[in-house]
Chain A
Amino acid sequence: MKLKIIPIILIIFFSIIFIIFFKGLQKTSIYTPDENFEKNVPSFTAKVIKTGVENSSEQLFSGDQFYLMNIWASWCAPCRAEHNFLMKLKVNENLKIIGLNYKDKEKNALNFLKELKNPYDKILVDGDGTIAIDWGAYGVPESFLIHNKKIIKKIIGPIDENLYLDIERLIK
């Protein structure tokens, strides 16, 4: 009787291990950001494109309207795709769009805006990508909807039709 217990335990044990690993196989190994990311606007200072005037985050997001912080670059193809939606969002009176130009050449960035028009109320420069890290971003484009100095929505990747409608609904 005693001898039979050990093989049974072993079989159960290996089945459990097998199930854990099998489930693990199906789990994505690609980074998916935490749902409960930091909600406070990070504090940073950045220069405005062309003029080079320093701006602090406290100044930037002090108003009581909504802000859309959009990380973009002229070399980023999905940024082109979302540009149209940014132009549509621009007409909202209570939304200010702030661009963060990520690892870009100023000339290319300005040409990009000349070609596709400028949706931004203000464009900040992030030459070495360190400000994007303050925001917990890891690629371009990423957007953050901000109200009362809190991030209320984080968008990874380009804004599409659905996300655009989401934003419109949120800022109403």
Chain B
Amino acid sequence: MAQEQSLTYKITKNLRCLVCQGQSVYDSDSDFANSLKIVVQRKVDEGMSENDIYEFLKTKYGEWILYDPGLNKKTYILWLLPILLFLIGGAIIIKKLKLKKT
């Protein structure tokens, strides 16, 4: 039971409360958030996995409801840009070091 509750906690923390900007569903006490908490709790009780619940809510409200969006067509820049910057930065540093050596 405690484990199930912590899963509900984890999921609702990662859901954006759509009617209250900048708050997670877990943190909000709005009508919408409270209903969503009940829905998530029920799905957890039914044995649905975390990802299944996200998928279910995505079909209802779209990607926007997730604070931690998955990798897809719309979000690949978000995910790949930091890696790209890291690589470019690394390349510049290596080049500079090599220049110094010679």
Within A133-152, the residues touching B (CB, 8 Å) are 133-136, 138-139
Q: How many residues of A contact B (CB 8 A)?
A: 19
Assess whether A160 is interfacial by the CB under 8 Å rule: no
- 6 shortest A-B CB distances, which residue pairs? A129-B35, A34-B62, A136-B60, A31-B18, A138-B18, A138-B32
The reply to whether B21 and A33 form a contact with Cβ atoms under 8 Å apart is no
- The A/B interface has a contact count, at CB < 8 Å, of 46
The reply to whether A133 and B35 form a contact with Cβ atoms under 8 Å apart is yes
B26 to chain A, nearest CB (A): 16
Given A6-B92, A138-B18, A138-B19, A33:B61 Cβ within 8 A: yes
Chain A, interface SS category: loop
The reply to whether B60 and A133 form a contact with Cβ atoms under 8 Å apart is yes
Which residue of A has the minimal Cβ distance to B77?
A: A20
Extra 12 A-B pairs, beta carbons < 8 Å, given A31-B19, A133-B39: A31-B16, A38-B59, A103-B31, A128-B34, A130-B35, A130-B38, A133-B35, A133-B36, A133-B60, A138-B32, A138-B61, A139-B19
Assess whether A53 is interfacial by the CB under 8 Å rule: no
